[in-house]
Amino acid sequence: MSTAQTAFLKGHGTENDFVILPDHDGLTELSPAAVVRLCDRRAGIGGDGVIRVVRSAAHPEARAMAGEAEWFMDYRNSDGSVAEMCGNGVRVFARYLQRAGLAGEGDLAVATRAGVRRVHIAKAGPDGRPGDITVAMGRAALPEGEVTVSVGERSWPARNVNMGNPHAVLFVDDLADAGDLYTAPAVAPASAYPDGANVEFVVDRGPRHVAMRVHERGSGETRSCGTGTCAVAVATARRDGLDPAVAGHPVTYTVDVPGGRLVITELPDGTVEMTGPAVIVAEGHLDASWLAAS
């Protein structure tokens, strides 16, 4: 990674936290080792992932989207692997652009590896706090076939949901049934998730209200997963016999995560919208020699 770009910020969305690297002109090479070093909670800054902020025109994976979205979210998991999408990350990405004066309240388009995501930044509240951010997360795909998730000697049927990245959603009696989610639960058949999966354990809290824990592929258990909450809302709606395309009206679920609460709405056209907070907590400069050592 180049030592010329050392500015960073730290932010989170419902406590899913990220190191943000502004690299507007795409001059920084972000190696997997550098990502791991940055996300180390004891010897680095600490985070569930790294968000690199790049102009779409300056990134080879995003140039085709530059006409729709000026900015590209280059997202990496904490193990250094590249991810297609991160729902909480998109909200934090948008909050960074707002803080930097590169976007204002209202509508915004963000390029991701899963395509362009439409974002709306709400007005600040009367107390001056920044407004929530809504992201149009695209349509959920529901691949056919039975999926099973296992923890120890116990197994549950799961729903395969793809939100631009893969999810296995299962319903349990108690969130403690998930066990230690820093270790990936076993998912079968492996062919259903050739690149691994995010796994969500879900319990009911009330009408249109659920809670979840998640193992994020490449990061372990996190305090929140934006695409995961969307996958959970869609899977729960289908379990409850609700399909907005059939009903002709939106279906909304509240999804509690360890780090807070998100509101997920599936529209009749299949688009899934996620609404929640995003917070920038710090900014500063990295020690160039420390980062170069990665």
Q: Which residues line the annotated binding site for substrate?
A: 16, 77, 87-88, 165, 198, 216-217, 226-227
**Coil/strand/helix, residue 42:** coil
The string of DSSP codes covering 177-197 is GG--TTSPPEEE-GGG-TT--
SS3 96: helix
The rounded distance, in Å, linking the Cα atoms of 58 and 269 is 33
Phi/psi at 145 (nearest 5 deg)? 110, 145
CA of residue 96 relative to chain centroid, distance? 15
- Cβ partners under 8 Å of residue 194, min gap 6: none
Whether 86 is a known active-site residue: answer yes
H or E segment to which residue 234 belongs: helix 226-239
Q: Which residues fall in the annotated binding site?
A: 16, 77, 87-88, 165, 198, 216-217, 226-227
Distance, CA of 92 to CA of 112 (rounded, Å):
13
From the list 225, 231, 232, 262, the catalytic residue is: 225
Residues present in the chain in total: 294
Catalytic residue among 19, 34, 36, 86: 86
Query: Which tokens hold the place of 244?
Result: 């907005």
Using DSSP's 3-state secondary structure scheme, residue 259 falls into coil
Give the list of residues 6+ apart from residue 169 with CB closer than 8 angstroms, or none: 158, 159, 161, 200, 202, 231, 232, 235, 236
51: number of Cβ within 10 Å: 23
Query: Are β-strands 166-171 and 154-162 bridged in parallel, bridged antiparallel, or unpaired?
Result: antiparallel
Coil vs helix vs strand at 55:
strand
Q: Which of 111, 129, 122 is nearest to 62 (CA)?
A: 111
Task: Report the alpha-carbon angle 204-278-132, nearest 5.
Answer: 75
Q: Is 39 a catalytic residue?
A: no
Active site amino acids: 86, 225
